Chains A and B, each alone.
Chain A
């Protein structure tokens, strides 16, 4: 029931880069792994020679000049090269081209509030735990925290940047191609730090625009009676105190915005795949599945009621 859809391998891997930022670092990584491997090999060979080589060789090694060549001159050359190369990378990565889109992400214990901003910085669209971006365009991420320190990280696309209370940290990166990438909180942030993930879905530009246009719309009216009943139950059970579903009286801001929750890949910040079953399971036992999170377990609801609410939510595409 809780199987994940097949999203492909390496959706969260430094070594499977899918954007220029991560690509540059992956390139650097291979370079330093090979270089480091060679240096390790050199030390092993030197040590072996120092121990087992014929006396004549060992006499040559057992001198101060070995220390000067191996311990000073050689590191000086390699380290200087690495320093300059690494600095060049830093310089290139921080001065990437102007952003096509600004997205503000707020880390909260233990989920992600996502705001799409316009040019003036005003919030145009609120969503949660999933960031859709147009592929091929640099996106600016403005990172904030609502409580403790979190760290925003999508390994396949870029390195991480912390979300620190009282500060806004910004950086830009892009996805080369359409695809689904997984991100996860990288700074320990309390009880459920392990279950604070999200998805970045890169889309072709026209698809993205269509999606964006859909998302800014309020939730669609239920088209089936059981969804109608689900909405009723959603509202009467007080879900709206914490959640917003635009177009309904539900306007809570404590938890994720659910206006289009059915369109997302995952539930509860990457804790569960998103379908009717997991939705119902989450509503009934949120405290069991992700203890200490702010959502209470609605274990007082009947099975039919759960299915109705879950059906309603799942239908909010």
Chain B
């Protein structure tokens, strides 16, 4: 009984939210470090290092989300043998895509403040 293979659809369907969580943790840590230690008070390409770092994190997160959604769209979830399982598999693929879409909204929401609010005031 190879139980691990069955983790895949469940984990795939929440992986978008895991990316959101990672993105959230990273940008929070970056800004906390910056404000306590002033490690990132330099500028890169005309933006502050914090906006730059957070923009980069967001681009990485969006790419990750795109890959997950694409994989689900191209049906890389396990194809289980009988018809009932086909339905389960379709359910998880669609769930994965919608979760990814919501995670995308959340990631973008997280990013907006960087361009509006001063970092450490």
Contact = CB atoms under 8 A, between A and B. Distances in A.
B35 to A, nearest CB: 13
A52 B97 CA distance: 35
B112 interface: yes
For B105, B109, B116, B118, the residue with the greatest tally of chain A CB atoms inside 10 Å of its CB is B116
B84 interface: no
Contacts, number: 21
Given A94-B121, A95-B121, A84 B116 contact: yes
Contacts of B113: 87
B117 A91 contact: yes
A34 interface: no
A162 to B, nearest CB: 16
A76 interface: yes
A84 B112 contact: yes
Nearest to B102: A72
A87 B117 contact: yes
The number of chain B residues touching the other chain, given as a range, is under 10
A88 B118 contact: no
A90 interface: yes
The SS class assigned to the A binding surface is helix
Contacts of A87: 112-113, 116-117
B112 A76 contact: no
By DSSP majority rule, is chain B's interface helix, strand, loop, or mixed? helix
Nearest to A96: B121
A84 B112 CA distance: 8
Counting chain A CB atoms within 10 Å of each CB, the highest count among B105, B113, B117, B118 belongs to B117
Contacts of A90: 116-117
A1 interface: no
Contacts of A76: 105
Interface string A211-222: 000000000000
B118 A94 contact: yes
A96 to B, nearest CB: 10
A83 interface: yes
Interface in A47-87: 76, 80, 83-84, 87
B97 to A, nearest CB: 14
Contacts of A94: 117-118, 121
Contact of A88 (B105, B109, B116, B121): B116
Nearest to A76: B105
Nearest to B105: A76
Nearest to B108: A80
B83 to A, nearest CB: 23
Contact of A91 (B105, B109, B118): B118
Nearest to B109: A83
A87 B121 CA distance: 13
Interface string A109-133: 0000000000000000000000000
Given A94-B118, A95-B121, A83 B105 contact: no
Interface string B91-121: 0000000000000010001001100111001
B54 to A, nearest CB: 14
Contacts of A83: 109, 112
21 contacts: A76-B105, A80-B109, A83-B109, A83-B112, A84-B112, A84-B116, A87-B112, A87-B113, A87-B116, A87-B117, A88-B116, A90-B116, A90-B117, A91-B116, A91-B117, A91-B118, A94-B117, A94-B118, A94-B121, A95-B118, A95-B121
Interface of A: 76, 80, 83-84, 87-88, 90-91, 94-95
Given A87-B112, A87-B117, A95-B118, 9 more contacts: A76-B105, A83-B109, A87-B113, A87-B116, A88-B116, A91-B117, A91-B118, A94-B117, A95-B121
